[in-house]
Amino acid sequence: MTPKLPKDLLYNSRIINTYIKLLKKQHPDTDAGIALEYADMQSYEVADQSHWFTQLQIDRFYEKAVEITGNVQIAREAGRYSASPEAIGAMRQYILGLVGPAHAFGLIRNASSKFTRSSLYQSRRISANSVEVVVTQNPGVKEKLFQCENRMGFFEAVCIMFNNNMPVIKHSECFFDGGRHCRYVISWKPSAADRWGKTRNISAFVLTGACSAAAFWNPTMAAQTLLPASIAVVAALAYKARAKEALELRRSLDNLFDSSEKLIEQMNINYSNSLMNNEIGQAISAPTDVDEILANVIQVLEKRLDFDRGMIMLANKERDQLLFRTGFGYSSDQLQMLDSIAFHLNKPTSRGVFVVAFHDQRPFLIDDIQDLQGKLSQRSNSLIEKLGAHSFICCPIICEGQSIGLLAVDNLTSKRPLQQSDVSLLMGIAPMLGISIRNADLLNSKERQFHSTLEVLAATIDARDPLTAGHSIKVTEYAVGICEALNVSEEETERIRVAALLHDYGKIGVPDAILKKEGRLTEEEYDIVKTHTQKTQSILEGINFEGIYHNIPAIAGAHHENIDGSGYPWGLKGDDIPLGALIISVADFFEAITSKRHYREPMPREIAYQLLRQHSGTRFDSQIVETFIHYHEKQQNPQLNIETGRSQRVPCRTNVSLRSNSHATNGLSEDLSTSGMFVSVPEPVQEGTLIKLHFTLPGADAFPIEALAKVVWINNSCKKAKPEFPSGNGLLFTQIDKPAVETLHNYIEQMQDGLVH
């Protein structure tokens, strides 16, 4: 019983792909896109070998293909072309190279389901040089006559593949003449080797009989004349047959060798694509920051894709502009240009390829940029000219039915033409990227909501008294500064930051009369104030802190514990006190005594330093105290010069990867010394931030440099330390290995020599 087939899925896209290839080869002046558009087909659907088209789409494509080519035999020609070595594919060509025509037709029955769900193929071998193929339509399917012609063209090509002679096809029964089936009897001439072999065998039989008869009547003549002549004839025929066999065998081996090379090439491509998909999966699985995801993915694409350049563009929050986010293969000047432009998405006049691909959610393969002449604005033409683009592919990045960006690639130096298979590959990558970006946005949004909630909680305490407003924020700033100076891990720093922000939340349970009292507190009042640590821990334990935030209540609740065990509320001592609590304790003490209170004026920082050192080793951890004082002294010098005198600052423009607190971005350096560098970035980070750097010096034999650096000054619209520089940060190297320093020193010396001469 024939299963019921979905009527909207009948013909595999390989059928149309064959037509497209044939049109490009035999009718290069025609535009196959016209036929695709008329049939409501997309080029990437055709390239996707798992896609299926309806009968109506097939009919409309054929109708338009005949119209634009004027070739009524195009269906039969497409059938022949579909079995040609250049169209059949490496694996099928390899397999067919191992069999003959009769066996090849035997394979059609199993292969037919790969191409169409509308018909059932059955084949039967009649003789060594003929087969019968019967095609039965599935119920409810109505094929067209041109598809019958297409089949016969395919049968002809199968035979031609094995010898140079056109087969004879007898179409004794046809659907379109009222038959129940389409019945084809296909016969072909034997090969030259077969013909010579048969001639040799027949000749040997005949001559053997003749010699036997002659030997009966005239033994002498038979032995001296007829037998040698017969042997010579048979030997000559055998030699000719053997030569033909060798020629055909050599031709077959050449074909097999060629198809084997193509098969290995395709296997390497498939293997590389598999590795790329795996690497992209790893690149997007862990990061929760969009810039870090993009940086990771673009590195994989540069490594694995066979393209000279590539870029990722994303829509802004308002969804009215497409902005360049990252790319590979572009020069520094081109990167700066891309960073400065935007593709407008909501202007009626914006109908460039990128904008159309974004809105229509379909990819484009532009073989020749000249095809877009007259369709682009002057600004777009100028951009294309500056980028030097000749052909490109752009694919929309779609998530949950909404376009969020574009992935685009092109080739400059490579002579490999862009293909529809490239479109399919990119269309497979884009959805993974879209989902990852959307997930990162959701996580970041959730994280921002989480942090804003914490800041509001902290502000509710500070807001009770104008004199203490901003206390928690300042303590948090100091605590993070200590963490960075001590090289505390990012996770631990974040945990301490949140604990510092909420360390006094328990004071919500302390009466205003005590908190705002002018003058010294009584012993009973001070005991009430001390309960805020337990209340802080108790309240925070009611919040579901997970992951890296799991022990925030314990850290915040222990910020008044002393290193010698004399603190409260638990009297913890030494290593029993969490590191975060020891850090917050120093930051809290310093901020409190250097700020104005109801009962006293703020202390000078030098006196505060003395008090910290006085209690070092008893109340506070000694290392944390000295680290804080060193950090705070540096913070008091906003004009900190990042030069150390070891070398002069020289111009240097190179791409720099920056990462801080799981936030990754790319920038462009302006100058550097062995002590630091200036990096231009669209949104500079705040002073004091610790950043991981990765860059390679121009002409430095691709020696990658990694370093830790601290932001020591900002260049932006509000704070222009160097008006001649773009927006960015001045960075001081805080950790860099010796080989990297030597590389920097050598580069600077070479630059200085070049500048002098």
pLDDT tens for each residue of 415-472: 667 777 788 778 888 888 888 888 888 887 887 788 788 878 877 777 776 666 778 8
**Tokens encoding 545:** 């802190």
If one compares 241 and 55, the residue with the highest pLDDT of the two is 55
**3-class SS string, 159-190:** HHHHCCCCCEEEEEECHHHCCCCEEEEEECCC
Predicted model pTM: 0.50
Q: Where are the alpha helices (DSSP H) in 470-604?
A: 471-485, 490-501, 512-515, 523-530, 532-541, 552-557, 579-593
**CATH code of domain 286-443:** 3.30.450.40
Write phi, then psi, for 145 (nearest 5 degrees).
-60, -35
β-bridge mates for residue 692, sequence order: 659, 708
Q: CA 580 to CA 561: how far, in whole Å?
A: 11
pLDDT at 748 over 70: yes
Q: CA 143 to CA 494: how far, in whole Å?
A: 67
If one compares 687 and 90, the residue with the highest pLDDT of the two is 687
The answer to whether residues 353 and 333 touch, using CB atoms and an 8 Å cutoff, is no
β-bridge mates for residue 496, sequence order: none
Which of 88-92, 393-397, 546-550, 665-669 has the least mean pLDDT? 88-92
Helix axes 227-285, 290-304, angle to 10 degrees: 160
If one compares 588 and 463, the residue with the highest pLDDT of the two is 588
pLDDT at 496 over 90: yes
> Quick one: fold of 11-187?
H-NOX domain (3.90.1520)
The answer to whether residues 320 and 344 touch, using CB atoms and an 8 Å cutoff, is yes
Identify the pLDDT of residue 341: 83
Which of 75-89, 118-132, 143-157, 529-543 has the least mean pLDDT? 75-89
What is the CATH superfamily name and number for domain 463-635?
Hypothetical protein af1432 (1.10.3210.10)
Q: CA 388 to CA 381: how far, in whole Å?
A: 10
**Tokens encoding 448:** 């921002």
If one compares 212 and 671, the residue with the highest pLDDT of the two is 671
Identify the pLDDT of residue 640: 41
Residue among 483, 462, 478 nearest 578 (CA) = 483
Residue among 492, 483, 441 nearest 292 (CA) = 441
pLDDT at 281 over 80: no
The pLDDT of 146-170, averaged and rounded, is 78
pLDDT at 538 over 80: yes
368: Cβ contacts below 8 Å, ≥ 6 apart: 390, 391
Residue 481: alpha-carbon gap to chain centroid: 36
Handedness of CA 376, 381, 383, 387 (dihedral sign): positive
The pLDDT of 289-307, averaged and rounded, is 79
Q: Where are the alpha helices (DSSP H) in 331-387?
A: 332-340, 353-360, 378-387
β-bridge mates for residue 678, sequence order: 671, 730
Mind listing the pLDDT tens digit for each residue in 359-405?
Answer: 888 888 887 777 666 666 677 777 777 888 878 888 999 988 899 99
**Over the chain, what is the mean pLDDT?**
78
Identify the pLDDT of residue 276: 62
pLDDT at 557 over 90: yes
Mind listing the pLDDT tens digit for each residue in 331-356?
Answer: 888 888 888 888 888 887 777 788 88
Banded model confidence at residue 249, pLDDT cuts 50, 70, 90: low
Residue type present at position 478? Y
602: Cβ contacts below 8 Å, ≥ 6 apart: 593, 594, 595, 596
The pLDDT of 120-134, averaged and rounded, is 84
Identify the pLDDT of residue 87: 57
The pLDDT of 58-66, averaged and rounded, is 88
Identify the pLDDT of residue 642: 40
The answer to whether residues 584 and 624 touch, using CB atoms and an 8 Å cutoff, is no
The answer to whether residues 98 and 256 touch, using CB atoms and an 8 Å cutoff, is yes
Identify the pLDDT of residue 639: 41
Identify the pLDDT of residue 8: 45
**CATH code of domain 650-756:** 2.40.10.220
